[in-house]
Amino acid sequence: MSTSDQIKSQMQALVDEAKGHKAQRDMSTMEYKHAMKKLGMLAETYPVLAKELGIVDEKKAEEGEKKAG
C-alpha cells in the first residue's frame, strides 16, 4: 500500500468518525432543546417552584405568587 493510499484511508476513517460525532451532537442538541422546552412549560405553570430552583426570572415568579396568593 502506498503512502498516498494510507493517507487516503486515514482521512476517510476520520471523515467517518466525524460524521458519527456530528450525528451524536445533533441528537444531543435535539434532546437538550426538547428538555428545555418542557422545563420552560413547567416553569410557566409553576413559577414559584421555578424561582426556588433558580430557573425563572423574578418578575414571572412574583406574578405567579400573586396569582397563587
Contacts of 10 by beta carbon, 8 Å cutoff, 6+ apart? none
Helices (H) and strands (E) counted in the chain, each on its own, are 3, 0
State pLDDT tens for residues 3-20.
999 999 999 999 999 999
Show the CA angle centred on residue 64, arms to residues 61 and 69, nearest 5°: 125
Question: pLDDT tier at 1 (50, 70, 90 boundaries)?
Answer: confident
Q: What is the pTM of this model?
A: 0.63
Residue type, 58: E
d(CA 34, CA 54): 19
For the chain, give every domain's residue range: 3-68
Sign of CA dihedral 38, 40, 45, 51: positive
Average pLDDT of the chain?
89
pLDDT of residue 66: 67
